[in-house]
Amino acid sequence: MLSLLAPGALLALTALAVPLLLHLRRRSEQKLVRFAALRWLGQGARPRSQVRLEQRLLLATRLLLLAALVFLLAGPVWRSAATASQPWVVVTPGVDPAAARAAVEGSPTEWRWLAPTFPGLDRATPAPAGADFSSLLRQLDAEMPPGAALQVVVPQELSGLDAERLQLHRAVEWRVVAGNTPAPAMPAHTGNDLQLALRYDAQHTAGLPLVHALAAAWHAAGLDVTVDEAQSDTPPAAGVDALFWLGADLPEPLRQWVRTGGTLVAADPAAPEPVPGSSDVDAGLPTPIALGQGRLLLFSAALDPTRNAALRNPELPTRLLALLRHDAAPPDRAPAASVSPLRAADAAPNTAATTPLDIWLALLAALLFLAERILSLRAARQRP
């Protein structure tokens, strides 16, 4: 199915009048001939109509060329035919597949998990969609052919919602079943205390003063800081808010500890070793990386204030504390029944499976231009 991205450009089709006028105008330029034997010229040989077009082939080529350019401006795309018009059922991870099948009326054939790539429901339960829930639904809405029915099976409590109510371009059947979205475990931060752990090996002690300074800074800020410090790789206790690791590769016991929901601060093992005499780097604060249910805060340079300008920033304690305490997460959980998607008012274009035709149209225009040049030259040569 052919459709245009910018149908307003078709107004430029009025330019077709230009070659028409050009070919008409030449008609009126009749050659004046002095002809004394006029009386023997027949009257019947008059031009049949005054409005006549000369060089119709050339005119047709020019019109086609203009039309091709105009359509090129209008942005033509080819949409594959809406084959998958059968209704889909997507099931949010966290819902029992059996319960979902029981909740849906009729007998739809397409059962999918609401997860990236939309795997079939017979596959294993994918990881919770988390913050991607709204995004995945919007993607599905955009990619499905218009008019295809969509049923969404959601648990009673949804997470990963946007601040705004979800708006889709189709009517969605919203099936709420028992269950809730498993949210990633968040480290609990309560009260005024901050439990730190520090693990290091013998070769990497340059960062020790940094951790001590951080602890001192937080203590000075009024926090009740405790530091569990050891030159080993034994994981700390479960209630520790942050584990500092000074060393080369992260030992497996610590990694395991992070997976259970801990937060680890370390230098990125992939970061280059500081070279003596080299200039400072300012790698900034790390971005949290999820690992299991925990987080990794990896500085992209060694934890050595003499080498890493970011560590000398006076705001480091404040900002690192904010990272550790996992602030600024907006509320994204709501009862599913209250957040059924709305119907979007604007008819957004379906961008599903569109093939731009620009290349072919441009090629056609180039060929037409070539043909127009050849015909025009030939006509000019025939004219005396």
Q: How many residues bind other proteins (CB under 8 A)?
A: 22
- At position 110, the amino acid (one-letter code) is E
Tokens of 321: 């504390």
The yes or no reply on residue 41 touching other proteins (CB under 8 A) is yes
Measured CA to CA, the distance from residue 172 to residue 89 in angstroms comes to: 10
| 309 token code pair | 């300008």
Given 22, 27, 119, 135, the residue binding other proteins (CB under 8 A): 27
Of 38-46, 63-71, 259-267, 318-326: span binding other proteins (CB under 8 A):
38-46
- Position 381 contacts other proteins (CB under 8 A): no
- Dump the DSSP string for 143-155: HSPTT--EEEEEE
* Residue numbers 46-75 binding other proteins by CB under 8 A: 46-48, 52, 54
Looking at beta carbons only, is 29 or 122 nearer to other proteins?
29
> Quick one: which of 1, 2, 34, 345 contacts other proteins (CB under 8 A)?
34
44 binds other proteins (CB under 8 A): yes
Among residues 49 and 192, whose Cβ is nearest to other proteins?
A: 49
d(CA 93, CA 179): 10
Alpha carbon of 21 to those of 27, 70, 89, 375: distances in Å?
Answer: 10, 18, 58, 18
Tokens matching residue 243: 């584990």
Q: Within 10 Å of residue 5's Cβ, how many Cβ atoms?
A: 14
Among residues 2, 8, 14, 33, the one that binds other proteins under rule CB under 8 A: 33
Instruction: Decide: is 42 part of the binding site for other proteins (CB under 8 A).
Output: yes
Q: Does 380 bind other proteins (CB under 8 A)?
A: no
Residue 37 in contact with other proteins, rule: CB under 8 A? yes
38 binds other proteins (CB under 8 A): yes
| Residue 50 Cβ vs other proteins, minimum distance, rounded to whole Å | 8
Angle between helical axes of 17-28 and 56-73 (0-180°, round to 10): 160
What DSSP character marks residue 89?
E
Rounded Cα–Cα distance for residues 146 and 158 (Å): 26
**For binding to other proteins (CB under 8 A), which residues are involved?**
27, 30-48, 52, 54
